Structure 1
Amino acid sequence: MVADHTPKIVGTAWALLALNTLGSAGAKTVVPLPRSLIQMVTMGALVAAFALALVVNPRLRVRASAFLFLLTLLLVPSVISSVHLEVGVGALFRCARLTLFVATLWLLSRWWDGGLTFVRHHIRMYFAVLVLVAAGLLVAPGTAMPEYYGGRLVGALWPLTPPQIGQYAAVVIGLTVLLVLGRRTTGAGAAVVVVPSLVLLAMTHTRTATLGLIIALTLAIGSLVLTSAAARRVFAWAVLCATVAAVVFSSALRSWFLRGQSQENFSNLTGRAKVWDALLAAPRTLGEQALGTGLGDKSFDGLPIDNSWLAVYHEQGLVGVTIVAAMIVVLGAVALLRPPSLPRACAIFLISYCAISSYTEVGLGDASAYLLHLALAASLLAAPAAAATPLAALVPTALPMTEVPRRRIPRWARR
């Protein structure tokens, strides 16, 4: 096993980036937390992450990648559209937040070498969030499963919505399962993480996270089928179990996905389609079509957009949509060109999950957990850094070295 030379402070900075993406709006908590206090904590985490990354990388050594270049390019339409202040002064604040987020990723890219170090940091941080959610469920079950969310699990100690909890649980489960298949962790250790995460995912009743987990994990395991016997066994058992479940529990699965909604409400995605139609039908100037209206709270007429592509179109225009699509395409193309390996499988899982979730979730155009997932995928697809070659190693050693005998200098030549 290759030794991990990544400083621990890098893992701390990555965890602080994840803390920043938790957001400041969500469910009601046991102890009411002012939104200003939550924003202070999340923004303080981002500033601290940038400071730690700067401390551990004072010479500003980075590893350039197409993903980071495109992510930096996304700042251009964000800033240009936000300076008009059509969505308020908060747009500039969100631009500053995104800039600091991207700058921290650049500083941490020095340790992107295609290894699994950042995967472990990712799992630890988001599993810690799930532990906090479970603690809130034990302390105040009524607050953790409120009626205004239809009895779905929310964060009772920190304001987290069911889709957020479902997303964190799905990512933790998928990455941990892949580590087990790659024999990078034990089955008992993985069960401690996977089993409670599955329970929390089921309690959130989040369809997007569940489907994203199933499809993305299937694609990731499928990429290992040709090189891993364990992956072949798991893939075969998964297909068998899915077939049996589809036949035996079809009615139960249908009722679970409907969540007590009518067929009409389910077909228009719980009212999302109405917001999408109104957003697309709204009149826009040529500049707003190209660059958007500026970074906002991912809503339209006071209603959540709940679609990453439409949110990017609304806030960063067609230019932003093109850049975000290029990020997904580039990461996917690089993943397909890499030879089969565990890091490649983890990257395929993250890219697929983000692409699937983008249909009913937002976050691809702003500092969010989804961008952090894609950054993790980019770190997994990075080529290992080449070690510096010592100068002494350049001296050829294959040729025999013979000692030249010294000639005696005559006495008259010494004068």
Structure 2
Amino acid sequence: MLKSIRSEQATLGMYVHSFSGGWLSHPLWRSRLLISSEQELTRIRSSNCEIIIDTAKGRDAPPPQSIRAPVSPAPMRASGRFGRADKVRATELAQRSKTIVDAMFADCRLGKGVPTTEILAVVDDIASSLNNMAAFISVTRLKAQDDQTYTHSVAVCALMINLARELGYTTDAARDLGMAGLLHDIGKSTIPPDILLKAGPLNEAETIEMRRHPVQGHSILSATTGVPAVALDVCQHHHERLDGSGYPFGLKGEAISIATRMASICDAYDAMTSIRPHAAGKSPLEAVTEMESADGQFDRALLFRFMGSIGVYPAGKLVRILGDRLAVTLPHKGQGMDPVFRTFYSTVETRFLQHCDVILTDCLAEGTTVIAEDPGSWFSESWPTMAARIMAGERPVRPT
């Protein structure tokens, strides 16, 4: 049986199955091990993360007593807000990045190829700005008609790096994924401006022309030295969908790489939330809710982790937090607010608890994960009905 615990709860004899956050990027750790020495135990306890143990291969953990979240009648102000100075810095970086991407597209139109050194510098600048992801993404949502492609590329780069960090990728791997995000639409440099910048919907002929850009982009990048293989993959396949409804090749399921699945999520999210001269754009909550309901389009596990990376979850989802608490996500209160979860059940004590509203940033230590759970594995009652009652402050009925 797999169980999630905090690293400070680890003891000798436990079998570590996996762990969250920065664990995978730490060169001293194996991904799985039996804790058999005091040295290993000390390192794990000091890692300040959440770990998954396999109780079939090692010792179980006692019910955690020290990680209960404080009960509060109302959510506190979240720390996800950003000030004017943050927005100014983010705007300056976004503008610098957009200018370089603009020049890159212009060079590609002239057959000059991609300046990989300059693009890597942009990726590194964006990566260093992600201490305040909310500020950076907020300024890239607004897209002028004549530079929307370039700003979109910058935004997807940031979202890819952010998601890579959420998934525990190494710094180098996250950089390659960021570069893939920055270059994913390079093929649009070959699309006529009257189609690329058209305000209204494209007709059939224009759509066919626009859908050439993944293959055209792959051709451009293939002729360029210093481009990571993942960028070539993402460029050619970021419009593929798991159910085979995408293009240019109609790939399905396992034929689509993890990197491309990540890129398709980041690409679609930014496109849906972009504020353009002729379109208001969806809110982040509206976008992730719509993406989640698009059955077969996106990798659901990756989409859930993407939600965690931007701090936006649709209301009514069943999740596990704090190691052993089942919770329901509450309706998002507004811009700049971190997600709020209402805990109601202990997976260790197997009983319902007094409701407790938990704000991710204020109540959970860095490295804590939010894990998606299947309601049918825990409860016999219809989950939408049960979730609505919990969100209304009522007690659930009983577990399966």
Question: TM-score, length-normalised on structure 2?
Answer: 0.28
Q: Which has the higher strand share?
A: 2
Q: Which has the higher helix share?
A: 1
* Bigger relative CO (Cα 8 Å, ≥ 6 apart): 1
**Higher alpha-carbon Rg:** 1
